[in-house]
Amino acid sequence: MWAQLKLPKITLILGVIYIPPENSKYSSLDAFTQIENELINFLSNNSYVILTGDFNSRIGNDDGISNFNYDKYFDFSDSAYTHSVVNVLNELNIQTHRICKDTNKNQYGSNLIQLCKNNDLIIMNGRMNKDITGKLTCKNSSTVDYTLCTSELIKLVKEFDVLEFSCLISDAHCPLRLTLNLENSLEVKPNLNLIENTITENICIPRKWASEKKVIFIENMKQQSDEINSILLNICNCSPDVVSVKSIDDIMSDICNRIWDQVKKV
């Protein structure tokens, strides 16, 4: 999924990625080609691009930087253009080499590295801020979730980190947190669009959880315990013959709404 955030001075393009595991029945090497084709289309008009998500790619300690020698073929002496990823990283005092606790590689990893080299994308994992050690992102055994960006976008990065695993967010993956410094670009309220869709309305802005309200939330949820237990009991008593995808979705929606209603109260 691609989203576009229009600011007064710049436009951010955000790509949220999920690529099925390479050995699964849903795997496809064409996934990277599709992503690259769409990426090239966006890069033709915009230099502030972020790709983030579950790539199911293991790249080890590969830095993902092209070793093409621009200076050999081009004269940039009279140009303000920063012609290589290495130059940008050096200017920002960001290490060019990557460190990763997961040293294994797979074919998807090779495809991801080629994607970065072809399009001068910078891999944030294992390189900057709070993830210079290259933390694991999946089941405490592998790194398959990444945040990539263009050399212009990385100049706006304030912080990048791989957070601790939380079963409330994912069954296996650690969340990635990226903080941008957009102080000079937020002169007016930003306009968020989903690419090829209508403008998103009624966006729910996440609020940071207030730990001191934990007790209130727990007490509120206890008041819902009878209703939720009743729903779960009905599930257990259901015959497999009458269970459908819609019925499961309705049940999960009911439970999630009950939880969300209590979240909004605190």
* Residue 201 resides in a domain: no
3-state secondary structure of 111: helix
Does 31 share its domain with 147?
yes
Per-residue pLDDT for 103 more than 90? yes
Domain encompassing residue 171? 2-194
Residue 199 lies in a domain: no
- Regarding whether 55 and 140 lie in a shared domain, the answer is yes
Same domain, 125 and 252: no
Q: Are residues 237 and 106 in the same domain?
A: no
Pick the residue with more confidence: 80 or 142? Answer: 142
Same domain, 89 and 137: yes
Helix H segments across the chain?
A: 30-43, 70-73, 85-91, 107-119, 214-222, 225-237, 245-265
CATH number at residue 42: 3.60.10
What pLDDT, in 10s, does the model give residues 112-146? 999 999 999 999 999 988 999 999 999 999 999 99
* CA distance to 13, 15, 50, 253, 257, per residue, from 39 (Å): 10, 9, 10, 34, 36
For residue 161, tell me if it sits in a domain: yes
Indicate whether 205 belongs to any domain: no
Q: Is there a single domain that holds both residue 223 and residue 189?
A: no
Query: Looking at the structure, do residues 261 and 168 belong to the same domain, yes or no?
Result: no
Give the end of a domain, one of 146, 165, 194: 194
Instruction: Tell me: do 176 and 134 sit in the same domain.
Output: yes
**Within a domain: 114:** yes
Q: Which runs of E-coded beta strand occur in 120-202? A: 122-123, 145-149, 157-162, 176-180, 191-194
Residue 53's Cβ-side half-sphere holds a number of Cα atoms within 13 Å equal to: 14
Q: Is residue 163 part of a domain?
A: yes
* Co-location of 190 and 215 in the same domain: no
Distance, in Å, from the CA atom of 266 to the CA atom of 215, rounded to the nearest integer, reads 10
Question: Residue 74: is its pLDDT beyond 80?
Answer: no
Six token digits for residue 57 = 């790619």
pTM for the whole structure: 0.68
* pLDDT band with cut points at 50, 70 and 90 for residue 190: low
For 194-215, what is each residue's pLDDT tens digit?
Answer: 555 433 444 444 555 677 788 8
Same domain, yes or no: 220 and 159: no
Domain count, the chain: 2
Residue 205: both structure tokens together: 């802005």
